[in-house]
Amino acid sequence: MLSDALLELSKLIPPARLLQSLAARITYSSDNSKRSAVPAVVILAEHINEVQQVVRVAGRHGLPVTARGRATSTTGASVPTQNGIVLSLERMRGVLEINPADRYARVQAGVLNGDLQQQLAPHGLMWAPDPTSAPYSTVGGNLACNAGGPRTVKYGACRDNVLGLSFVDGTGALIHTGAFTSKSSAGLDLTRLLVGSEGLLGIIVEATLKLLPKSNVARSLLAFYSQVADAAAAVARVMCLPTTPSALEFMDGSALRLLSQHQQLELPNCAAMLLLDLDGPQSALDESEALTRAALAGAGCLSIERAANDVERAKLWSARRALSPTLRLHAPNKINEDVVVPVSRLAELSAGVEQIAAKSGLEIVCFGHAGNGNVHVNILYDGELEAQRVHAATALDEVFALVLKHNGTLSGEHGIGIDKRPYMQAALGAPTIDLMRRLKQCFDPQGILNPGKVLP
């Protein structure tokens, strides 16, 4: 019974952190997907034992628990179950230890990615995952979604940059995984199983993160192309080089026009642009730039430019980061997917998306982390118009079918949440989904942790 559970919870959590007003529950009812469901109660946890106790109470009363960082998920992953419990980690935001010699940081799950990076900077270190949402998303949420960003092409996403975790499973047990060392082959890799599990297997309370020397980006290059396929071919050439750029981003012609219109950037009217960052020791930069320029040049390359200085570089990147919100100025609604294909298939992906756009009569704007084959496909439409809604839904089905045909995957960094569940069976196949269900059963026998997400 809900009322019994609330009574038990009120004995464990002080009233100021056990939010039951409708206003508070509505505040915690949605995420960036614009979906929503109003929970029965919101708990702002401050201690690991509170997380354990809340999970145990939820288990006794069969109530769903949705872990929540800052709810920047774009897929509905952090939308609670109606009348369930929201367990927010936002107050557990301590950086517990920074250990430069052993290259790790131990943090609580609710620390913001951006705050952590600021504390690491004086040590000349960074945590590689750099989602655009870094200033306002939590490390716990990043880990739960296997978040990444532009730097992923060279330094990896969350899964590549975590040494160990402490999490509370669906029975309330506190489990420690991994090690404090950069090498470990002791047993099954539960750490990486938890990363990307979107709150289904456990609630991450602490993490030991692998640190890297801070990437000092010294040069940024821009390359413009007359055809998207030519830009895609250049990406494949760059990824064959002995030095990998620390960012390799792609923008199609529509994205460039939006940037010119809304971000006061003077960009040529062409089919595609690549934006690359080069980092590394000063002594190696000239050679690295020469090799990269040679790879960028080739069929369809109109020009290659270098950002003149740090100010120009910062302007380019802030425009790149503003692209996604800028789309909202352009069309009332958008479906934003973050599909991935092998880099060598980028040209086929963009040709296929162009066909889908032409067939649907809708504008589809593509940009993203080309070096990982990770493209944000934005289907723009007016949700007030029935025909456009239908065309957008059909276009989305076709985009996923196209991606799977080219050995791709549904999501590179945003995860599955609620939105992409219907496509999981086709993407992974029944035996794999069945194994995932059995794993979920082991970690969460009563199925109370973030039900209704990821698994179809």
Ligand X SMILES: Cc1cc2nc3c(=O)[nH]c(=O)nc-3n(C[C@H](O)[C@H](O)[C@H](O)COP(=O)(O)OP(=O)(O)OC[C@H]3O[C@@H](n4cnc5c(N)ncnc54)[C@H](O)[C@@H]3O)c2cc1C
Query: How buried is 88 (Cβ within 10 angstroms: 0-12 exposed, 13-18 middle, 19+ buried)?
Result: buried
| Interface size with ligand X, residues (CB under 6 A) | 36
> Shortest distance, CB of residue 355 to ligand X, whole angstroms?
27
Among 13, 42, 77, 323, binds ligand X (CB under 6 A): 77
Using CB under 6 A as the binding rule, whether residue 67 contacts ligand X is answered as yes
* Stretch 341-370 residues interacting with ligand X (CB under 6 A): none
Residue 109 or 221 with smaller CB distance to ligand X: 109
Which span sits near ligand X by CB under 6 A: 33-41, 141-149, 215-223, 378-386? 141-149
Q: Is 109 in the site for ligand X (CB under 6 A)?
A: yes
Q: From residue 300 to residue 339, what is the string marking binding to ligand X with x (rule CB under 6 A)?
A: ------------------------x---------------
Near ligand X in 270-299, by CB under 6 A: none
Applying CB under 6 A, which part among 62-70, 114-122, 329-337, 438-446 lies near ligand X?
A: 62-70
Is residue 440 a contact point for ligand X (CB under 6 A)? no
Q: Nearest to residue 32, comparing CAs of 65, 70, 66?
A: 70
Q: Work out which of 48, 57, 105, 145 binds ligand X, going by CB under 6 A.
A: 145
Smallest distance from ligand X to CB 180, Å: 20
149 interacts with ligand X by CB under 6 A: yes
Residue (138 or 208) nearer to ligand X, CB: 138
Looking at 29, 81, 142, 288, which residue binds ligand X (CB under 6 A)? 142
Binding residues for ligand X, rule: CB under 6 A, are 31-32, 66-74, 77-78, 89, 109, 131-133, 137-138, 140-142, 144-145, 147-149, 198-199, 203-204, 324, 413-414, 450
